[in-house]
Chain A
């Protein structure tokens, strides 16, 4: 990861601010995926109407090995252009799978027509959006595109290591993948931008059997921001991670069912990240607040222990680069951190430009789109609870009868704040010491009640970034946090 991050730092972002009217300069490198052909269309934006024109390419590479066989071997390049026009409280949007000036003209026209249709039939009678200062933001270099063979060879090396060193497995799955998005955004006000967000991962799934023949599984994702060639140079770097995963799996196959009920637990940092994102983050997305989420009634009220501060970070957290940094969103808003909970008090929502106007807040760059054909939605970036001062070993030692819950396979939350996370890796805590491993279970609770039970906060933040957040569209996000001691409902058998 260190190597990857350092390499990424070399190619990521140079931030440029220009005053006055902006024409994007076509400073192109050979390895940009998108040429800037759109800037000349900016003069055709309708005056007095908020307009966005976006060219985008999403690149995906994926290789899947199932017990050594290549069962998936696919590459995908999806690009096109879209336009969005705001008129009196509603938007018109159009896109075409064609990255050309002609397509740009067509989608601008169609988006305007759609905005007019909505204004006539369902206009909300709102005025224009508050104007943002015009600026520009541009990455300096493009990204590499490794050959498919590189993905296959790396996946095979990891798979061969697992086959040789993990004798009790009944199956192995190794996935090598990259998904990268490059965007060229022009806005009638706010920021014009040329951005690239690459990320790549290897997923390793290991399956063994319990003594009575039931399959048990664990998986781990390795990697992060950056293209595959930068993150994965030497397979042996990752072998200790496979050893560690196998060690946990061997304990899990001898594992026990959790005792169902309300328990005192230590949530590991990965679990805290899931909690930050799913159970709290979604409820404070302003579109879901308008849709009736519980957070609509909680602004400036205590929703958590005073030990809890939670932020949606844009690009830098705790003095370091975020897992998936965002510098400008797809409405042209400069990305800045959003403090959601401060010392236990709910203090903010994540907004689009329109919802920020509604709530009288400042937009801070949360409106993001997945494909060229998607409109920006309010999304999280890198959401994390701030670290405290407690040591993990002290937190474990403080529990007589409870659980240490380390990793989660999935999580879901309700707009009421009621959440459920699958727990794939965890251990009993008995008399202050770790006991037997747990078989798969779930935890649940209501976020703003459960967070009030937090009485210890670990001093180390753990991040993850390999998944997609699902809303109307998928979106890569980072989530993290320290270990928390709290009370939560755990499912048993």
Chain B
């Protein structure tokens, strides 16, 4: 059964016939064209033809889900039966709720047709540009691809979305090398709607390559001090955003009751210059989902607005469980508005601290406390980058950091999925050997 709409409708009808009171499914076919570069040379070309069928049913208030990757009617029939059986094994839970306002949307995002020759050209050009501009950089691995997805989301309440999306993505893992000296590895990624310009000019790729090249002679930090940590977007995501979304505002920690922000809605939790949003439908997001997993239309929303916690990141299920409101979307398209200082101006104002491009740390504790290694880091002293650092640890507490914001950069990383600045935080413990 190769017609996506017909297959989706068959699933709804058959699951209802097998006793489901509610059904939703995602039926999707996709193609990927991918080039791999390993150790600086081309190694592989891949062409993938995939299919996915994800079915969720509710029967007597009990939920079950299955995922298969075939469109054959017999196999889908078996998957529906398995899904029904799974739901019958579960406990009834009245908190499950799905969109019941009929809608039908058909839309196209990005570039659904792959220009394979141009993708190869841009990949090769990027390799050549890196060799010319950044001769000390060795590409450990580069994966470049075009992905096209044709999907149907349909539920038994007549909610239907029919997106066709296509995008190019470039993912680089690299390190600096000179003789036997080498730097820590770093990754740069970008998702693009088209291949109109050289990839090295996109996102922060050129700047990040330059920064890594400067880390070939790192020095160990002696002793321990409390200072300023200037987090680049990747480190900001790992430490601050990972803790907020992982520990404070999501379904699991609010349902469990382990979130330390469970009673903070409407209160100030951060510096009033800080706003954190999720924007699935922003124009800077190349491929953003228009529908939530429960069938509701995706909407942009502020999590923290001018320092105040104004929403949690809850699904409708989580909202029903906790008595709170559902979030507009949960797609990971996180946006933090730019500040008013350039990165250079922020560094000039720091007496002693570190610039951290990447963070390698343990899972943040539910309290928001964390510690780990400052990777691809520089020591800042008296307003200047003094040297690259090795074996330097940072530790702190995210809720405290949010109230110790020193500056937010006007420079933004826009990688086709998120829009994030550099942010400087005071009062972080920085320790060396």
Contacts and interface: CB of A to CB of B under 8 A. Distances in A.
A98 B68 CA distance: 11
B367 interface: yes
B182 A415 contact: yes
B399 to A, nearest CB: 11
A441 B49 CA distance: 44
A79 B49 contact: no
A249 to B, nearest CB: 13
Contact of B182 (A74, A77, A416): A416
A173 B93 contact: no
Interface stretch (A42-50, A135-143, A335-343, A420-428): A420-428
Contact of B85 (A148, A288, A292): A148
Contact of B258 (A118, A215, A408): A215
A321 to B, nearest CB: 31
Interface size class of B (residues with CB under 8 A): 35 or more
A322 to B, nearest CB: 27
B369 A493 contact: yes
B99 interface: no
Contacts of A215: 258, 260, 365-367
B431 A373 contact: no
Given A78-B69, A215-B260, A489-B391, A92 B45 contact: yes
Contacts of B258: 170-171, 207, 215, 217
A39 interface: no
A73 B183 contact: no
A415 B360 CA distance: 13
Contact of B65 (A75, A117, A173, A373): A75
Contacts of B341: none
Nearest to A60: B67
Interface string A463-493: 0000000001000000000000000010111
Interface stretch (B137-145, B151-159, B160-168): B137-145
Interface of A: 66-67, 69-71, 73-80, 90-98, 110-111, 114-115, 117-118, 121-122, 124, 147-149, 152, 170-171, 173, 207, 214-217, 260-262, 287-288, 290-292, 294, 297, 373, 375, 408-410, 412, 414-416, 418, 420-424, 439-442, 444-446, 472, 489, 491-493
Interface of B: 38-39, 41-52, 63-70, 79, 82-83, 85-91, 93, 120, 124, 138-141, 143, 173, 175, 177, 180, 182-185, 224, 251-252, 255-258, 260, 317, 321, 360-363, 365-367, 369, 371-373, 375, 390-391, 393, 395, 429, 431, 433
Cβ-closest 9 pairs across A and B: A422-B362, A291-B140, A491-B371, A290-B39, A122-B42, A215-B366, A149-B89, A171-B256, A76-B67
19 contacts: A66-B252, A66-B255, A66-B256, A69-B321, A71-B255, A76-B66, A78-B68, A90-B44, A110-B47, A114-B45, A121-B42, A149-B85, A149-B88, A215-B365, A215-B366, A261-B433, A291-B175, A410-B363, A420-B362
